[in-house]
Every structure is written in structure tokens, then in C-alpha cells.
Amino acid sequence: MMTRARTWFLVFLVALTAMLPVLAEARVTPEVTNGNKVNDGDYPWLVSVQMTKMEGNGALRNHMCGGTLIDSTHVLTAAHCTIGKDDRTIPAKYYKVYYGSTQLGERGRFEDVARVIAHPNYNPRAITFDAAILVLKRPIEGIEPIALPDAGDRAFSNERDRVTVAGWGSTKQFGGKKGYRIRSTRDMMEANIEVVSNERCKASLRRIGVTGVNGEKSFCAAEGGKDACYGDSGGPLFGMDGDTPIQVGIVSWGIGCGLGYPGVYTRLSDPSIRNWIADQVRDS
Ligand code: ARG
């Protein structure tokens, strides 16, 4: 049975997991737990969403969240990556998008952000509709964007479907002795995991007193100790349709990292999310 203190600790952990990239701002330590290194040049549509309040401290230090290029001027990320400590949208001028390298280093390039648009139904308490679009100042040419599912098409988000999560987030739950500092890994990491049914996911989280996974707007994925972690938020969960990656989820939240509880992902096939994305891409 849960003690009250333990319940509150878990509530605190969930909140922290969701807010960490934002709280930590320039001092985020992000990577995937128990994953492996992505081959050089793979997943070119996976970008690093960077917070550059201070100039020139490098792609590694400024990494905040993952994001994906869904066309040449739009990056899809998590809504919780766009909300600051004051609960307001972080202004576009503080963002940069780093792209063109699997390493957070000198080889990639930066693009400025013109507008930040979070899903209007984003609910930070329930962590639903955790999706946002960054509109870039200039188009990124020469990178094939990642495909999204059609509205209502649940391929790659049914129980036991094989999917991959990738990003530069922390490889360990807590950034060592320094506590919650996100330490981004220089190399992009990935983990092959499976989709977990809503029933199994809810049952697993209920055991530790966490309720409220919205199985319509989100879904779960995990496999053993393989999981997303701090700094992976906003990045992709995708399946392979032959040679074509299809992004079905956005890294949203979890309980710690790699502890055996499923990670929770924004469900991109949900019509209220998928159609909203299509509208932003068309209109902005
Ligand atoms: N919100 C987290 C971030 O800061 C990602 C959480 C994912 N956690 C997990 N265990 N699957 O990047």
C-alpha cells in the first residue's frame, strides 16, 4: 500500500520529469536510457531544440528538448518544452534549432525560430495534447522531413508494435551526484521498444499511485529498462514502414527513467492532434 509521503514523492517526480527541460533551461543534462548510439547521419529529421539565453555556449550545453522536422519550416516538439517557469510561452527569440548532425557539436547548423505555437488544449496537469510547433525563420533545405500518420490511423501504436525512441537525453535517471541536471549526450542515442496497451500501462502506473494516463490522446511504450529520459522530451517515437519512418508519438513524460514503468507519448494519430498539426503547417 502507498504511504502518503510516497504518493507525493511520485507526484513530484512526474511533475519534475515533465518540467525538467524548462526548469533547467541552459543547465539541462539530457539521452535515452539503455539505448545505443545512432549511426552517423541517421535520422536527419531529428533536431535539437535549444535554449540560447546566453550566446555561444555550444550545442551540447544548450540542448533542451528533441524535435522533428515535419516540413522544411516546421519543427514538431512537446508543448511542455515551450512553457517557462512563469507558465508562459517562452519567446521565440530564445530558441534555436540545431540540425544536420547526430552529434551535438560543431558539425551541425543552427536555425532561428520565428513563432512558437503550443496545442491550444495542452493541459500541463494531465499532460495531454503535449504537442507544439516551432515555425522556423528560414527553411531547412536538403533534409527529408519525417512522415506522420493520417488522422485516425493507429498503425505502429497498437500493443506490441515495434517502435524506436531517439534523442540526446540523459542516459541515467538522475545526472549523478548533481541530482536532476540533465546531461545531454554528445551522440544521438536510440532504443527499440514496444508499444504497451493502455490497460497494461495504466495498471503498471496505478501500482505506484499514478492515475490519469489518457489513452486517447497519449499511449505508452517501453521495454525492460529501455526508455526515454530527461532531455528526450519533444523527440520522436517512430515505426518503420519498410524504409520509411513514421512518427507516431512525441516523448512526453514518465516516472523517472528506465525503471520499468512505461514512458508516455503524445498520440499523433489522434485527429484533434493530427489535424491541428496539419492546420499549423498549412497556415504558418
Ligand atoms: N519530460 C522528459 C524530458 O524532460 C521526458 C520524459 C520521458 N521519460 C520517460 N521516462 N520516458 O525530456
Tell me the per-residue pLDDT of 24-67, one tens digit each, with 9 for 90 and over.
322 233 347 788 999 989 999 999 999 986 555 688 889 999 99
At 195 the pLDDT is 98
At 57 the pLDDT is 65
| pLDDT tens string 120-137 | 999 999 999 999 999 999
Confidence band for 21, pLDDT divided at 50, 70 and 90: very low
Q: Which residues of 92-128 are buried (b: 16+ CB within 10 A; e: fewer)?
A: beebbbbbebbbbeeebeebebeebbbbeebebeebb
Spacing, Cα 32 to ligand 1 middle (Å): 9
14 vs 282 pLDDT, higher one: 282
Give the other-Cβ count within 10 Å of 38's Cβ.
20
20 vs 240 pLDDT, higher one: 240
Pairwise CA distance, residues 185 & 104, whole Å: 8
At 175 the pLDDT is 47
Task: Return the amino acid letter for 235.
Answer: G
At 178 the pLDDT is 46
Closest residue by Cα to atom 9, ligand 1, is 254
The mean pLDDT value for 139-163 works out to 98
Spacing, Cα 214 to ligand 1 middle (Å): 16
Sorted by where each starts, the structural domains of the chain and their CATH numbers stand as: 14-32+41-145+272-283 (2.40.10.10), 162-270 (2.40.10.10)
| pLDDT tens string 170-212 | 887 754 444 455 668 899 999 999 999 999 999 999 999 999 8
At 2 the pLDDT is 42
Pairwise CA distance, residues 265 & 227, whole Å: 11
pTM of the model: 0.88
At 15 the pLDDT is 45
23 vs 51 pLDDT, higher one: 51
- How many Cα atoms are found within 13 Å in the side-chain-facing hemisphere of 88? 4
Mean pLDDT over each residue of the chain, to the nearest integer: 87
Task: Give yes or no for residue 264 having a pLDDT over 50.
Answer: yes
| pLDDT tens string 70-105 | 999 999 999 999 998 888 899 999 999 999 999 998
53-62: long-range contacts, CB 8 A cutoff, minimum separation 24: 53/25, 53/26, 53/94, 54/26, 57/26, 58/104, 58/105, 59/98, 59/104, 59/105, 59/106, 59/108, 59/110, 60/104, 60/105, 60/184, 60/186, 61/26, 61/27, 61/184, 62/26, 62/96, 62/98
Spacing, Cα 142 to ligand 1 middle (Å): 30
Where in the sequence numbering do the catalytic residues fall? 80, 130, 233
Q: Can you tell me which atom of ligand 1 is nearest the CA of 255?
A: 10
At 9 the pLDDT is 46
At 198 the pLDDT is 96
Q: Can you tell me which atom of ligand 1 is nearest the CA of 257?
A: 10
